[in-house]
Homo-oligomer: A and B are copies of this chain.
Amino acid sequence: MSINPDLAVKTGPLNLKNPVLLASGTCGYGIELQGFVDLEKLGGIVVKGLSLEPRSGNPPPRLMETPCGLLNSIGLENVGVDRFISDKLPALSALDTAVIVNILGDSVRDYQELAGILDQVRGIDAIEVNISCPNVRAGGAAFGSDPDMASEVTAAVRKATSLPLIVKLSPNVTDITLIARAVEHAGADAISLINTLLGMSIDIKARRPVLANTFGGLSGPAIKPVALRMVWQAVRAVNIPVIGIGGIQNASDALEFLLAGAAAVQVGTATLVDPLVSVQILEGIRMYMKETGISDISGLPI
């Protein structure tokens, strides 16, 4: 029996040719990989988080390798939404793959304004809202750490745009299902998770934290079990599509998320180590579907 599995995914109002996306912050603005990775094979690209104004990010060191993981404190360095639109988007949107723009802000207003700007721009297929950022007004707690704040941001962005709206959740919470439900009710078309776990590392020779910023976000294979658990919980808590992220290194990892019920996955840290891995993951998913006789991607969830 030779089936040719159908990998097309409908993530809410967003259609993807397949479920493998590149995660924000680990693929630059996409164009850095052009000519090296065949980006048109992928379901989509989530660009580095954009703010209204350019940001410098945190002082170095910004990176630390940990057991099976990576700590980063890039500090959301980005060129700002205007330069993204003028300098990066033209080449990116020319590609036959979904372009998803990740946004971040210090206030609900920032998010809303960003969404409003992006809503007017051609070549963007969806907005992903990164709510792991500190809410400067609310004393610096992350928007994503509280259902009310998460809901407020989501509603504000929802008002500002008719683009498909993905809200990306922070895993540093007691109950991910509360946040997931809150953003669903506030109008998200889909949720993606997880962002990084908050971690740190200490240099015992220098006797100080390794990262200049003290804390950083933990990503990579180390966090996969936590990510998968949260995706499993979120899938069972909401009725909108869930995009699984966290420690996906190979097709088998990606399949764990798809079997847990994720509609699609994002590959983050693995791309940094192995820039071609996303395409291999896609091939591996196709192989698995052939071998198990599953003809449609929607047949994967257990």
Within 8 A of B (CB), among A220-277: 220-226, 228-229, 232, 247, 249, 252, 255-256, 259-260
Residues of B within 8 A of A145 (CB): 174-175
- Copies per complex? 2
Instruction: Mark out the residues of chain A between 163 and 192 whose CB falls within 8 Å of any chain B CB in the assembled complex.
Output: 172-175
Judge whether A288 and B199 touch: CB under 8 Å. no
**Are B247 and A226 closer than 8 Å at their CB atoms?**
no
Q: For chain A, what secondary structure do more than half of its interface residues adopt (helix, strand, loop), or is it mixed?
A: mixed
CA of A218 to CA of B228 in the docked complex: distance in angstroms?
12
Is there an interface contact between A259 and B204, defined as CB atoms closer than 8 Å?
Answer: yes
Chain A: residues with Cβ within 8 Å of the partner, total of 44
In the complex, are the beta carbons of A201 and B215 less than 8 A apart? Answer: no
How far is B174's CA from A141's CA once the two chains are assembled, in angstroms?
10
B256 touches A207 (CB 8 A): no
Does any Cβ of B come within 8 Å of A71's Cβ? yes
Known contacts A207-B259, A259-B207: A202-B228 contact under CB 8 Å:
yes
Q: Is A68 an interface residue (CB 8 A)?
A: yes
List the B side residues contacting A66 at CB < 8 Å. Answer: 221, 224-225
Q: Top 9 A-B pairs ranked by shortest CB distance?
A: A199-B225, A67-B221, A222-B222, A68-B68, A67-B68, A200-B229, A202-B256, A204-B255, A173-B174
Contact in complex: A225, B218 (CB < 8 Å): yes
Q: A198-B226, A214-B232 are in contact. List 10 more A-B contacts (CB 8 A).
A: A66-B221, A67-B220, A71-B225, A145-B175, A199-B229, A200-B228, A202-B302, A207-B302, A208-B302, A218-B226
Instruction: Say whether B202 contacts A67, CB under 8 Å.
Output: no
With an 8 A cutoff between CB atoms, is A69 at the interface? Answer: yes
The CA-CA distance from A67 to B221 in the complex, in Å, is 6
Asked if A197 is an interface residue, CB under 8 A from chain B, the answer is yes
| B-facing residues in A130-155 (Cβ within 8 Å) | 141, 145-146
CB<8 Å pairs between A and B, sample of 26: A67-B68, A67-B224, A67-B247, A68-B68, A68-B69, A68-B221, A69-B225, A172-B174, A174-B174, A199-B225, A199-B226, A200-B225, A200-B229, A201-B256, A202-B255, A202-B259, A202-B302, A204-B256, A207-B259, A207-B302, A208-B302, A216-B225, A218-B225, A218-B226, A221-B222, A222-B225
